[in-house]
Structure 1
Amino acid sequence: MAVAGGAEVEDLGEEFRRGDAPADAGRHGVKLVIHVGCLDEVARRIATLIEHDSMGPGDIGVLVPTNRMVNQVVARLKADGLDVQELDRYDGRPTQRVKVGTYHRGKGLEFKAVFLPGLSKGVYPRPPRDTDSVDEAAEANDLALSQLFVAMTRARDLLVLLYDGDISEALAGGLDRFEREST
């Protein structure tokens, strides 16, 4: 999928080569919204979707790369009065709660709407540590992009990417391939 940048993505034994070929997720109609914003914007957009009966809270997922970010999202959504189900405690039974978890925990699930906050330049993928070798840094970057690819494919109808400042360089080159509403 071109959104993941210019390298290969491996997932579930399949290889996805990045390049100029059109992206085809096997399903059509996912609307991509790209927004400069933070967790306040996630909470506002979720409340709007629910308020206008576009979808129920149980149809919405917020996926992030780390457990620390899960805790931040959960706290922010609860502060706005939203009912939240953390994916690490989710048993698969339908609930009317917004699902929040890591990209890894979201694997195998599907949501009408998926919010992916924190996709800022210099933040995602995580910059290499000073102690990382070149190979370790490349491997960590590839893993992060593969996990992001999985998270993006959890959206059935609406995918919302959020970032502060500039969007991650890993995403910047491939976003023109999607139906898009920038706000």
Structure 2
Amino acid sequence: MSKSILPNITKRWSPRAFSSKSISEEDLDLLFKAAGKAASSYNEQPWRFVYAHREDTQNFNLLLECLTEFNQKWAKNAAVLVATVAKKSFSNNGKPNAHSWHDIGLAMGNLSLQATSMDIYLHHMAGYDKEKTIESLNIRADYEPVTFVAIGYLGDKEQLPDNLKEQETPESPRKDVDEITFVGQMGK
């Protein structure tokens, strides 16, 4: 029997064109439950998600205004915006958790695969104002923003600004395994 990569992994991509279709609170809850099943250092589960549906204009705009102008232009059409937030220290001893961002990555990987299985798409964004995010979203001192995520159903790329239309494709180059793996020592 031939082995292959799971279909939800190969189907996943990061569009910028989202449809106007809303995501139900039930479906969004399922995505967050999938995220919550991720592994984490000492089972700390340091991830927190600040989100708003597009229909919740006031809260959606709070998140949207934290993004760079470039990201605002297309993310405004997402059904949901999410800020991912990491707890900076371990709850049991107060020591810094150097792995919290990694753990959020695992949680978002789970969320991405669950979303893909439901024909929901995500686009992760690093383009945001950290200080504005902390202030606007009332991020507590022991937490820090990591990324923003636009979530929604696939839309028509014609709604995008001209400079983004040609980038809107599920096919993006990936490095070969021999470029990202090393046996024993890196650089040999």
TM-score if structure 1 supplies the norm length? 0.27
TM-score if structure 2 supplies the norm length? 0.26
Larger radius of gyration: 2
Instruction: Tell me: higher relative CO, structure 1 or 2? Use CA pairs within 8 A at least 6 residues apart.
Output: 1
